[in-house]
Amino acid sequence: MVKQLLTLLLCIAYSFTTTAQQTIKGIVIDASTNQPIEGASVTLSPTNKLVITDATGKFTFKGHYTQDASITVTYIGYASQKITTIMAGKPIYIQLSKGAINLQDVTISNKVNAIITNRALTSLDLNMKPARSAQDMLRLVPGLFIAQQVGGGKAEQIFLRGFDADHGTDVNIAVDGMPVNLVSQAHGQGWADLHFVIPETVGSYDFGKGPYYTNKGDFCTAGYVSYNTLNALDKSMVKLEGGQFNTLRAVAMLNLLSQKAKAKGQTAYIAAENLYTDGPFDYGQHFKRFNIMGKFNTQLGNNNKLSVILTRFSSSWRASGEIPNRAIAEGYIPDRFGVIDSGQGGFTNRTNANIRLTSSLGKNITLDNQVYYSNYYFNLLTNFTFYLVDPINGDEFNQHESRNLYGYNGKLTHQNIIGNATLTTTAGFGARYDQTNPSWLAHSLNHQVLNYLQLGNIKETNINGYLDETIEKGKWLFNLGVRLDYLNFYYQSTAPASDSAAQLYNGVKTSQGKAIISPKINIQYTANNQVQLYLKTGKGFHSNDARVVIANEGYQVLPAAYGVDLGVNLKPAPKLLLNVALWYIYLQQEFTYGSDYGDESVQPGGRTVRDGIDLSARYQINNWLYSDLNLNLARPRSLDDPKGQDYLPTAPTFTSTGGLYAKFKNGINGGISYRYLHDRPANQDYSLVAKGYFLADLTANYTQKKYEIGITIENLFNQVWYESQVEYVSRLKYETTPVDEVSYTAGVPFFAKAKLTVFF
């Protein structure tokens, strides 16, 4: 009897120890680089609990687990892995190897936060459609279109969700946490020139539409785009590209440390890019761009990771500019690739230093500290109105600036599991200081200043902080946040008293400051593995140009944006992923730049409203064939103008992109894709039209372990299309009266490029 009682007690004790509260934790890393993988899905069987790895690749399960428990890890572009030997309390190190892309690896769960990230879409798209250029990186965002106005060296004009965001006024863009947008830039507020990024170095990206993200501040009204460069290279490589229009490009990416260093958590590489092209224009662009980048990562003890990034970019070009149709119809130039003023073009460079330290403080607390510095130079010569203002010398104008940018970002994150609820608390703080000396807009002739329209020194400070709480419990996820931004604007006009610029700033204060509070409330409900609903609401803002703020004596310094999204993520079949969203955005003040000439360039617009529908679909047809489709409808309107005269010039109303992409096991891969932009109004009463276009691109590659050869064709069907289109009142040299007409930059015709890449 005693023996039987002891046996029973031992069984009960064993049962208790195997089902008691336990902790299973681990880290998921890339097998070839030893770098952590963020966003991998980790599923615990037989409970089917799911968690997502954090920025350091770590995951944790807490609960009651049995001896037959196992873990399955999946991530897009990697072979899934199952771990059957688990010892609670001891970390599990899981190495994932690159593998075939499988849409079955995408999981709809309350852990995959549609409010905060679009990782499923971005991982899939970047794997299937690697960017060929800095412009292509922006086009990866569903519904985002771009246009190049004056030669390849300018920042692209951006269109998203019914916004003509000019060069970045309503889209917040960052690379490795460092802001790309430049405040009070000589050519346009929020100027976002991404050409300092080598596309082959981009390892991941994220985007969000609307003003719903607590960690995103200035310019996040239509949305944000954030890129992260690779922490380590799989292999070193050298790539050569050549094509029509005297196009040559060379890229090299070299590992600097040994495999032994990688095993210790140290990586370092250098990347460089050199590009030359004349473009399709009769007056060759002579576009030259050089990029160099270095990145170093190292572990500092067991709990700290340091990342250092240095980049240098320079670019020069000459431009044919934007031309009116009548110049061709009346024989002033031979075709749409002709030039009216050959004095246009520019030069720019940017040097960046970016240091980031990520520290694990224990008890699920992580601290991020980042400091960055940028030195920027910009000089641009353009002429859109020709002889409208000055019939003798012409209307050439020069925009110029020299800038130093200093910044800090800090973030403290704590994750806590209470019962069945997971609470993630984030507190952030940031500071940014832009010092531009000098900045000018000038009427010029043959590169010589005739009259300063603006000339002065700008100092702009942004101090911000935010608190964000995410609560995950059962099928629900709640995200609550509030953000505070304080901006101080300083502008000292140094223009000669005889120039028109001096009159704007007579008797006004040189400094103005304003604070804005931006609350966010977002809710997500995951009904099952096939259906997830979400509601996003929030307030954001875009800051005004410092010259406008000072000239208007602080009026409407930080116009606010209010938005709401109602959306659904669907997975009706294992290899089909859908996202549909209804959205609305109200903007207190629209930024308009007119002709970029004279005082028109600093005049704020009125209130606007936009609503629309976004649809994105990703479908894996079979093991080697994939497809995507994006449809984006928008209805942008002015609230301060009568009906029929309330259109927003060049704001997109309907866009669509899509394609078919193949990846065979023998190394053959590629695809065909399209992009469609519908006709849209070029002025407020729609009497002028910015013409839409439908373009198709083709890529074909043969990829092996040591090399890759390929061809890319842009505008496969050689369509006549117009890229940048703007209404200008202009006058050609022989004309006696000005004409109100749409001017444009001609889009690239059929353009073929070949490439050879060697891996080692």
237-295 pLDDT tens trace: 999 999 999 999 999 999 999 888 887 889 999 999 999 999 999 999 999 999 999 99
Task: Return all residues near 330 (Cβ < 8 A) that are at least 6 apart.
Answer: none
Q: Residue 310: what pLDDT?
A: 98
582-600 pLDDT tens trace: 999 999 999 865 544 444 4
Instruction: Judge if 143 and 242 occupy the same domain.
Output: yes
In order, the DSSP letters of 63-95 are: EE--TT-EEEEE-TTB--EEE----TTS-EEEE
Q: Is 584 exposed, middle or buried (0-12, 13-18, 19+ CB in 10 A)?
A: middle
- Asked, for residue 596, whether it belongs to a domain, the answer is yes
Query: Can you count the helices (H) and strands (E) in the chain?
Result: 7, 41
Q: Residue 596: what pLDDT?
A: 45
For the cut 70, the answer to whether the pLDDT of residue 20 exceeds it is no
Residue percentage of the chain with pLDDT more than 70? 94
449-503 pLDDT tens trace: 998 989 999 999 999 999 999 999 989 999 999 999 999 999 999 988 877 777 7
Instruction: Judge if 438 and 522 occupy the same domain.
Output: yes
* β-pair partners for 557: none
Domain boundary among 99, 130, 150: 99
Confidence of residue 10 (pLDDT cuts 50, 70, 90): very low
- Asked, for residue 61, whether it belongs to a domain, the answer is yes
CA angle 217, 137, 694 (to 5 degrees): 115
Instruction: Judge if 163 and 94 occupy the same domain.
Output: no
For the cut 90, the answer to whether the pLDDT of residue 128 exceeds it is no
For the cut 60, the answer to whether the pLDDT of residue 1 exceeds it is no
Q: Residue 680: what pLDDT?
A: 97
Task: Return all residues near 713 (Cβ < 8 A) that are at least 6 apart.
Answer: 697, 698, 699, 750, 751, 752, 753
Domain boundary among 38, 66, 99: 99
- Asked, for residue 245, whether it belongs to a domain, the answer is yes
- Asked, for residue 36, whether it belongs to a domain, the answer is yes
Instruction: Judge if 72 and 135 occupy the same domain.
Output: no
Domain boundary among 70, 99, 128: 99
Instruction: Judge if 128 and 87 occupy the same domain.
Output: no
697-727 pLDDT tens trace: 999 999 999 999 999 999 999 999 999 999 9
How confident is the prediction for the chain on average, in pLDDT?
90
Instruction: Judge if 91 and 127 occupy the same domain.
Output: no
User: Do the Cβ atoms of 142 and 121 come closer than 8 Å?
Assistant: yes
Instruction: Judge if 189 and 55 occupy the same domain.
Output: no
Instruction: Judge if 322 and 214 occupy the same domain.
Output: yes
* β-pair partners for 696: 674
- Asked, for residue 112, whether it belongs to a domain, the answer is no
Instruction: Judge if 78 and 187 occupy the same domain.
Output: no
Instruction: Judge if 728 and 643 occupy the same domain.
Output: yes
Confidence of residue 47 (pLDDT cuts 50, 70, 90): confident
Domain of residue 16, CATH code: 2.60.40.1120
Q: Residue 333: what pLDDT?
A: 95
- Asked, for residue 218, whether it belongs to a domain, the answer is yes
Q: Residue 151: what pLDDT?
A: 65
Q: For residue 319, count other CB atoms closer than 10 A to its CB.
A: 30
Instruction: Judge if 581 and 442 occupy the same domain.
Output: yes
Instruction: Judge if 522 and 586 occupy the same domain.
Output: yes
349-390 pLDDT tens trace: 999 999 999 999 988 899 999 999 999 999 999 999 999 999
- Asked, for residue 38, whether it belongs to a domain, the answer is yes
Beta strands in 602-651, from DSSP E residues, in sequence order: 608-620, 625-638
Domain coverage including residue 677: 119-759
- Asked, for residue 106, whether it belongs to a domain, the answer is no
746-755 pLDDT tens trace: 999 999 999 9
Domain of residue 422, CATH code: 2.40.170.20
Our count of domains for the chain comes to 2
